[in-house]
Structure 1
Amino acid sequence: MLTLASKLKRDDGGKAGRASGASDSTHRVSIRDRLLTKEVSELEAHLPSTCKASFPDEDKLHHFRLAVSPDEGYYQSGRFQFEIDVPEAYNMVPPKVRCLTRIWHPNITENGEICLSLLREHSIDGTGWAPTRTLKVHHLH
């Protein structure tokens, strides 16, 4: 599991270096990455025991996987992998979520695309993406 404390320490170390006169423009942290540092921590703290987040690259909080193993219902005993990519324009645009496990579900296409108004930038029914939503909201739906 990702150790956010170590990432925050590394980030703080970079800030100290810049404060002492180093001006490296490649070290700027995007709004997305600042939001994700907090949101990933909250996500991991609130994930139910049937879900597990994994980060292929700990330095890229904007790309991760979520493994879901329902313990009740029609999909009980299944294991489903989702890939989440958070675009640079986050939180003005929703994350891209794709199901990597082949499954029959009315909201998941054969290609793994998720069809939920919550994940759309614009929605007819008004329940689409809003900048006030967070990653934590997604795993609950």
Structure 2
Amino acid sequence: MISLWSMKKKEDAAAKKKPKTSAAQIRVQKDLTELDLPSTMKTYFPDPQNLLSFTLTITPDEGMYKDGAYNFSFEINNNYPHEPPKVKCTQVIYHPNLDLDGNVCLNILREDWKPVLNLNAVMTGLQYLFLEPNADDPLNKEAAEEMRRDRDQFLRNVRVTMRGGSLKGKRYDNVLASAQ
């Protein structure tokens, strides 16, 4: 009887040492197992034990941002899915929906977030920003204005900045997939 009691104490102590899995971690794990990413998107987990922090790389195969590789950091807090993940572009790129600090203007990451949305929806939304930039809801107002006013000049600016060029005194990161 005493040995049973001491075994139970040891089990309880071991259970206390093991970190509890949060509801956010369970939901993220579910979202990740249900991911249906195209070949143009890849996830990377620097710490495989931490599913709440990872990187997504998008390499569009069409559109004006084709041939680039764009990295986004995902930070998910313990209130997920009641709060959206924090997503930032880790490179400086010329895009109407991304500011120079990497902030992303995507409606489902702000006012249109709902707990029924998942990581797949966010990743698909990010990819769509490279296929169809939205000049009507910009973070980079200069890029959006250029896109509305002179689309050909906007396309030239995108190409110059993708190669790591400068535009109006600001240097952009080389995001060409061949440079990665």
**TM-score range with shorter-chain normalisation?**
0.7 to 0.9
Number of corresponding residues: 115
Does residue 88 (structure 1) correspond to residue 99 (structure 2)? The answer is no
Q: How does 1:1-141 map to 2 (within 5 A)?
A: 21-22=11-12, 23-24=15-16, 26-43=18-35, 46-120=36-110, 123=111, 128-141=112-125
Identity %: 35
Once residues 25 and 114 of structure 1 are traced to their aligned partners in structure 2, the CA distance between those partners, rounded to angstroms, is 38
5+ residue gaps, structure 2, are: 1-7, 126-180
Question: 2:11 and 2:44 mapped to 1: Cα distance?
Answer: 36
Give the C-alpha shift of residue 103 in structure 1: 1.1
- State the alpha-carbon separation in 1 of the partners of residues 16 and 113 from structure 2: 34
SS at the partner of 2:34?
helix
TM-score, scaled relative to structure 2: 0.60
In the aligned structure 1, how far is the partner of 2:120 from the partner of 2:17?
A: 31
Return the letter of the residue paired with 2:22. S
* Runs of 4+ deviating beyond 2 Å: 20-23
Indicate the structure (1 or 2) with the bigger Cα radius of gyration: 2
Secondary structure in 1 matching 2:84:
coil
In structure 1, give the amino acid aligned to 2:95.
Answer: H
In the TM superposition, what is the alpha-carbon distance from 1:25 to its structure 2 partner? Answer: 6.3
Measured in 1, the distance between the counterparts of 2:106 and 2:124 equals 13
- Distance in 2 separating the partners of 1:108 and 1:137: 18
Distance 1:111 1:99 in 2: 8
Q: Which has the higher contact order (CA 8 A, sep 6+)?
A: 2
Secondary structure of 1:27 counterpart: coil
- Normalising by structure 1, report the TM-score: 0.76
Farther-moved stretch of structure 1 (79-88 vs 34-43): 34-43
Q: Read off the aligned partner of 1:33 and give its amino acid letter.
A: Q
